[in-house]
Amino acid sequence: MKNLSLFIVGIIIGALVTYYFVFNSEISKNVSSTDPALFSKVSMKPKGIITSEQAKKLDNAFNDRHKLISDSIVKRPDNRSAWWSLEDVRNYLKHAETQTQELGYKMDGIRVYLGAYPDTKEKGGGYTTMFFIPTGMKALSKGSSIPFNFQNGGEDIPGGDGLNVGGLGDPPSASYPQ
C-alpha cells in the first residue's frame, strides 16, 4: 500500500512538472519578444538603460578623445554619432538572424564597432563611422545528447553581414544631445 501511494504521488508530481514545462514552452513559441502586442501590454526595460544625464556624462568624457582625433588625425571636426531608421535596424536584425541560422549559429545580440572611412574626397571620407556585427554561438543540433549549452555567447559570427551607412551627425561633430 505504501509503494502504491508513493507511485501515485510520483505520477501526480510528474504530470504537474510536465504540464508546467509544456505549457511554458507553448507560450514562448506563440509570443515573440518582438511581438508589438506584447510591448503594448508590458514595458520590457533592457539591461544597460541609462538616463539622459548619464548619456551627457559619457559624451562629455569623450570630448578629450574626440578633440585629439579631430585635431591630430582627421584635421577637421570628426563624426561623433551615427543614425539609422527603425525600419533599417529592424530589417537588419531580421536579415542577421536569418543569415546566422543559415551559417549554423544562434544569434544572441549585436556588437557595435567604431571604424573609419578611407581618407578620400567622397562624402564621409575620413570620418569615423559605427557599424553593427551579429554575435552568437554555434547552434547545437536538435539531436544533441548534451543537455546544456556551455558556450559563451557574444562571439562575432564569422561571415555575418554588418550594418553600416548610418547617417552622420548634424553637423558631424555635434555632441549629445543633437
Most trustworthy range by pLDDT among 8-12, 52-56, 78-82: 52-56
pLDDT of 53 over the 70 cut: yes
Residue 159 or 36, more confident: 159
pLDDT of residue 166: 76
pLDDT of 50 over the 80 cut: yes
What would the mean pLDDT of 125-131 be, rounded to a whole number?
79
Residue 62 or 127, more confident: 62
pLDDT of residue 26: 47
pLDDT of 16 over the 70 cut: no
Q: How far apart are the first and last CA of the chain?
A: 77
Whether this model's pTM surpasses 0.85: no
pLDDT of 159 over the 90 cut: no
pLDDT of residue 135: 92
Report d(CA 65, CA 58) in Å as an integer: 12
Report d(CA 138, CA 106) in Å as an integer: 6
